[in-house]
């Protein structure tokens, strides 16, 4: 099932989450019956379900649904994939770009499926390090290519809005398998994702 703003919301889950959001709003000292907040618990409930719909998605099934036998064996890169996720420590957003490459060995995958795999894992409670590994491992396991590379650059609202309050900080994580363990191949990938070829 694709990610959609028209997600079908389970009424029981929506109601239960809305009740919890009502308690949170009241706990913060607000009047949940104030005009501007009357529908906020339900809206927040649906927003949370949308932001965590990745739990209902299967990355391997998405990839297997668009695998094609092909002799191509050079690097395939999809870069600047925007994503939004929720930090599991504070439930605040972190967001940025993912850069992904693989070197096919018998199979390629439809290019749109790679950003969808990013969303499958981003639309969960996450830490950036795990997100990086989950994307890498799902592609490696499903396509069995000669190697996979993933680099993620993200800004974390838990660092920007609270805590150290450093608005310009960017966190970078990376993971590599197979051919990308070679310094030469890895450096080619890193050069390509930082260059502007257009």
Question: What pLDDT, in 10s, does the model give residues 83-125?
Answer: 999 999 999 999 999 999 999 999 999 999 999 999 999 999 9
Model confidence, pTM: 0.92
List residues with catalytic annotation: 87-90, 128, 156, 158
Domains identified in the chain and CATH numbers: 11-51 (1.10.286.10), 65-194 (3.30.1130.10)
Half-sphere exposure (Cβ direction) of 26: Cα atoms closer than 13 Å: 10
State how far Cα 64 lies from the chain centre.
19
pLDDT in tens, 144-169: 999 999 999 999 998 888 877 777 78
Are 151 and 172 a contacting pair, CB within 8 Å? yes
Give the C-alpha separation, 128 to 92, whole Å. Answer: 13
């Amino acid at each position: 099932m694709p990610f959609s703003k028209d997600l079908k919301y389970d009424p029981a889950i929506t109601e239960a989450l809305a009740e919890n959001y009502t308690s949170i709003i009241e706990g913060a000292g607000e009047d949940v019956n104030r005009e501007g907040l009357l529908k906020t618990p339900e809206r927040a409930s649906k927003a949370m379900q949308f932001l965590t719909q990745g739990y209902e998605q299967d990355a391997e099934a998405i990839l297997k649904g668009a695998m094609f036998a092909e002799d191509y064996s050079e690097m395939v890169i999809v870069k600047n994939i925007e994503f939004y996720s929720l930090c599991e420590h504070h439930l605040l957003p972190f967001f940025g770009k993912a850069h992904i490459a693989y070197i096919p060995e018998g199979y390629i995958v439809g290019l749109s499926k790679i950003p969808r795999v990013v969303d499958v894992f981003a639309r969960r409670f996450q830490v950036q390090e795990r997100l990086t590994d989950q994307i890498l491992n799902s592609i490696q396991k499903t396509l069995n290519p000669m190697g996979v590379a993933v680099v993620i650059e993200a800004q974390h609202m838990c660092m920007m809005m609270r805590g150290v309050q450093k608005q310009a900080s960017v966190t970078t994580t990376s993971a590599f398998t197979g051919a990308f363990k070679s310094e030469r191949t890895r450096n080619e990938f890193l050069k390509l994702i930082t260059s502007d070829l257009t």
